[in-house]
Chain A
Amino acid sequence: MLFFIEATISGLMTGVMYSLVALGFVLIFKASGIFNFAQGVLALFAGLTLVGLMEMFAVPGWLAIILTVGVMIALAWLIERLVLQHLVNQTPIILFMSTIGLAYVLEGVGDLLWGSDVKVLDIGLPQGASDLMLDRFNLYVEKLEVVAAITAAVLVTVLAVFFQKTRIGRALRAVADDHQAALSVGISLRTIWVIVWSVAGIVALVAGIMWGTKSGIQFSLSLIALKALPVLILGGFTSIPGAIVGGLIIGVGEKWAEIYVGSMVGGAIENWFAYVLALAFLLFRPQGLFGERIIERV
């Protein structure tokens, strides 16, 4: 029983990490209808920048984070200026292709600026097992994962309120829905895009910090984007809570599958379980758990 609880908690915590990445996708998809292939690379780039700044200028972690936020906002502005601005009113597939290009450019620039070796990220986040949980309940829980969970909860709450209740949030949804109509009420597409890519960049930074602290900043970080895909399919591409719930389900699901089914088929289920689950969802509930049903009057 104890083992089961431990596995579940560990799964939930991994799920939170997936959610953090998925969140960035949802933001950009919700606000511009673009599936942003570069989201994983954005996390890598943010992580590299953070470590790079800390190493190069020997600044403390908190200052480096603030500087990196600045870099991500500048990056959002550049992306709007150099890429998106020229692609207004293009079909989603073209915008998608442009984000693939963007992913490779960013990866190259990150390499060029900060080098390609694995870097250790330590901004002073607590690591190791939580003594409290170990002593009280005899459970092994990573401190870092608890921090990640709390961070994710705060992020999601703020973003959900922001999207639902505020003018900019409403403008973001409006832009996602209909470019032309949004323009006609005076919403500036360019400002909105800079805002949404900035927020996505900051979310990517958070994901980069968590994953980087856990396993070092390295190229494979950009591949966690692939793990975010099934999370998105489960949760729905347009739902912020969906990204969280989807991440948790995938995290726990793959842990359980590994432990209870893996032994029967020789293991390594963890690697593909998420995708099978996503496939099942595509067949039976393509909009995901929380996605918007597409309503079309004919």
Chain B
Amino acid sequence: MTEHRKRIGDNVLKVENITLSFGGVEALKEISFEIREHEILAIIGPNGAGKTSMLNVINGFYHPQAGTITYRGEVRSAMRPHHAAKQGIARTFQNVALFKGMSTLDNIMSGRSLRMHANFLWQMLYYGPARREETAHRRRVEEIIDFLEIQAIRRTPVGRLPYGLQKRVELARALAMEPQLLLLDEPMAGMNVEEKEDMSRFIIDVNEQFGTTIALIEHDMGVVMDISDRVVVLDYGRKLADGTPDEVRANQDVIDAYLGVPHE
């Protein structure tokens, strides 16, 4: 926990005045914040606050109407998913977006897509360079499988796995991309206490061992306060607060809007 805090560096990603609307509904209003190298940033807020929209803007699924995104020094008005992936942004989804008919192994291997280059002809013949490449990447994927302790389900079609394990496979696929910035959308949703503890441990390990910068959305306040270095709070598409867990916890707006005004 303390180790990675020491390593926190400059901004990796900075969003400024992001405004996003769907028809008449404003999902995000002039949001600005930054993600710093090697940190774990939590984005919290009530349902419908715009958290997932924010992640979708960062990896290019949504194109905001206004504002800029600065990633590794390049200023853009919108990202595109393919380019975001190429530049080291990986993500997982709130409702698990895995390739359900494919095995765990194939799902994770698909995360290596961008790193494999054997040409089309060799691929067709599955010979020579294509085969060597496949073997090399397979080795890397096995390391990730060991890391996340999912050896036993290697060959299982992911559609058959329980939810908690699907979440873990999805994380594995994102890790296979060897990302610099990892976006996790509710990585612990629907998990029991034990599964949450496992997932928290994996997230911290990824951050510490690989130095991966992580931005995550999470509802479990205990987890958020435990693992994150900084917290951004959204509410109705606006940013309410931004700071260390302690600062955020003490912020009156946040307490009112999110952590709750006592019911009388």
Contact = CB atoms under 8 A, between A and B. Distances in A.
Contact of B113 (A162, A170, A177, A292): A170
Contacts of B112: 167
A292 B120 contact: no
Given A158-B124, A184-B97, A185-B177, A167 B116 contact: yes
B133 to A, nearest CB: 8
A295 B160 contact: yes
B99 A168 contact: no
A227 interface: no
A166 B113 contact: no
Given A166-B126, A166-B134, A185-B85, A295 B157 contact: yes
Nearest to B97: A181
- Chain B interface, DSSP helix/strand/loop, else mixed: helix
A177 B106 CA distance: 12
A173 B106 contact: yes
Contacts of B120: 168, 195
B111 interface: yes
B109 interface: yes
A186 interface: yes
A170 B110 contact: yes
A220 interface: no
A181 B113 CA distance: 13
Given A166-B134, A171-B113, A173-B99, A184 B91 contact: yes
Interface in A206-222: none
A188 B173 CA distance: 17
Contact of A173 (B90, B102, B173): B102
Contacts of A166: 123-124, 126, 130, 134
B106 A178 contact: no
Contacts of B116: 167
A253 interface: no
Interface in A173-206: 173-174, 177-178, 180-188, 195
Contacts of B81: 183-184, 186
A169 interface: yes
Which secondary structure dominates where chain A touches chain B?
helix
| Interface footprint category on B | 35 or more
A86 interface: no
Contacts of A158: 124-125
Given A177-B101, A292-B101, A185 B111 contact: yes
A69 B82 CA distance: 28
B98 interface: yes
A165 interface: yes
Nearest to B83: A186
A178 to B, nearest CB: 5
B129 to A, nearest CB: 11
Contacts of A295: 100, 157, 159-160
Nearest to A177: B99
Contacts of A297: 159, 163
Interface in B52-111: 59, 61, 81-82, 85-86, 90-91, 93, 97-102, 106, 109-111
A64 B81 CA distance: 39
Contacts of B100: 177-178, 295
A161 interface: yes
A261 B97 CA distance: 51
A147 B116 CA distance: 36
Contacts of A174: 99, 102, 110, 113
Interface in B174-191: 174, 176-177
Contacts of B134: 165-167
Contact of B90 (A162, A184, A188, A296): A184
A235 B157 CA distance: 21
Interface of A: 158, 161-162, 165-171, 173-174, 177-178, 180-188, 195, 292, 295-297
28 contacts: A158-B124, A158-B125, A162-B126, A165-B126, A165-B134, A167-B112, A167-B116, A167-B130, A168-B123, A170-B109, A170-B113, A171-B110, A173-B101, A177-B98, A177-B99, A178-B99, A182-B99, A183-B61, A183-B81, A183-B85, A185-B85, A185-B90, A185-B111, A185-B114, A186-B85, A186-B114, A187-B82, A195-B120
